């Protein structure tokens, strides 16, 4: 069964600190993996999208990694800001399909 | 270029009524996707449409739910005879192509069934 699991479920950090969020998936055959940021009450916003051949991609203070062999991905946030408080969702797509399979997200809270 | 628009943002319906959710994709996008997010759960795929065609509706309940994306106008997700379990946030996304293209999400419609 195609699944995406994320950890931790929630995370609290202090402003300025770094953090890393994890994603494991069992989607096959793999097409691409995306990380989205979802603020409360809003739609998800794309941070990165990686295909099989890419193992790292950055977007400002966000850096995503992908290990297609172990089916794991991580999202590293550097020098966190209060505005980083949101849910971060790992999303995987299987080849030859248009469906995205969503993880349940990691809820990050950044405190001053 | 305006983003994906959804309306209404909030919709309250009594049990048994119909709910009609609208989605206008980004300009130039002909691919529309509908997702449902139950409280404290991840988004779940419902249906994928391309202008005038339903490409994949495998995530949509067979009863009471229907979707369309006419040649002119927004995509519509219709829920007939709503029940309390339909209460959720419904998100629409659009993209210019399939598979590896980025999907841009709208702000969602929050449906509450009383």
Which of B57, B103, B107 best probes binding to A when mutated, by most A CB atoms within 10 angstroms? B103
- The vertex-A51 CA angle with A60 and A28, nearest 5°, equals 135
Contact criterion met (CB below 8 Å) for A74 and A56 = no
**From CA B114, how far away is CA B102, in angstroms rounded?**
36
Give B105's contacts in chain A (Cβ within 8 Å).
Answer: 36, 43-45
Closest among A43, A91, A86 to B92, alpha carbons compared: A43
Residue A73 has pLDDT above 70, yes or no: yes
Take residue A42 and report the two structure tokens written for it.
């809003």
Helix (H) or strand (E) segment spanning residue A19: strand A19-25
Helix (H) or strand (E) segment spanning residue A6: strand A4-7
Contact criterion met (CB below 8 Å) for A91 and B91 = no
pLDDT of res. B106: 96
Shortest CA distance from B88: residue in chain A: A41
Residue A41 has pLDDT above 90, yes or no: no
pLDDT bracket for residue B83 (50, 70, 90): very high
Closest among B22, B19, B108, B33 to B65, alpha carbons compared: B19
pLDDT of res. A108: 98
What is the number of alpha carbons within 13 Å of residue B31 lying toward its C-beta? 16
pLDDT of res. B99: 67
Tell me the count of A-B CB pairs closer than 8 A. Answer: 61
**From CA B44, how far away is CA A30, in angstroms rounded?**
18
Residue B1 has pLDDT above 60, yes or no: no
Contact criterion met (CB below 8 Å) for B68 and B79 = no
Using the Cβ of B112 and the Cβ atoms of chain A, whether some distance falls under 8 Å is answered with no
What is the number of alpha carbons within 13 Å of residue A26 lying toward its C-beta? 4
Share of chain B above pLDDT 90, in %: 82
| Bridge partner residues of A6 (DSSP) | A23
Q: What are phi and psi of B22, to 5 degrees?
A: -115, 145
Share of chain A above pLDDT 90, in %: 79
pLDDT bracket for residue B85 (50, 70, 90): very high
């Amino acid at each position: 069964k195609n699944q995406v699991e994320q950890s931790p479920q929630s995370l609290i950090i202090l402003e300025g600190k770094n953090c890393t969020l994890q994603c494991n998936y069992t989607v096959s055959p793999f097409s691409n993996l995306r990380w989205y940021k979802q603020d409360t009450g809003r739609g998800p916003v794309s941070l990165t999208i990686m295909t099989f051949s890419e193992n790292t991609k950055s977007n400002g203070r966000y850096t995503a990694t992908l290990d297609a062999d172990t089916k794991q991905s991580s999202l590293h946030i550097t020098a966190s800001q209060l505005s980083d408080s949101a849910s971060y969702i790992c999303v995987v797509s299987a080849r030859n399909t248009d469906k995205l399979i969503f993880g349940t997200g990691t809820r990050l809270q950044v405190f001053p | 270029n305006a983003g994906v628009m959804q309306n209404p943002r909030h919709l309250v319906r009594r049990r048994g009524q119909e709910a009609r959710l609208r989605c206008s994709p980004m300009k130039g996008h002909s691919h529309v996707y509908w997702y449902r997010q139950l409280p404290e759960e991840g988004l779940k795929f419902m249906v994928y449409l391309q202008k005038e065609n339903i490409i994949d509706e495998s995530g949509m309940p067979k009863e009471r739910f229907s979707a369309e994306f006419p040649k002119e106008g927004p995509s519509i997700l219709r829920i007939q005879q709503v029940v309390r379990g339909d209460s959720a946030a419904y998100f629409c996304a659009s993209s210019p192509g399939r598979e590896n293209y980025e999907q841009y999400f709208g702000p969602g419609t929050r449906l509450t069934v009383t």
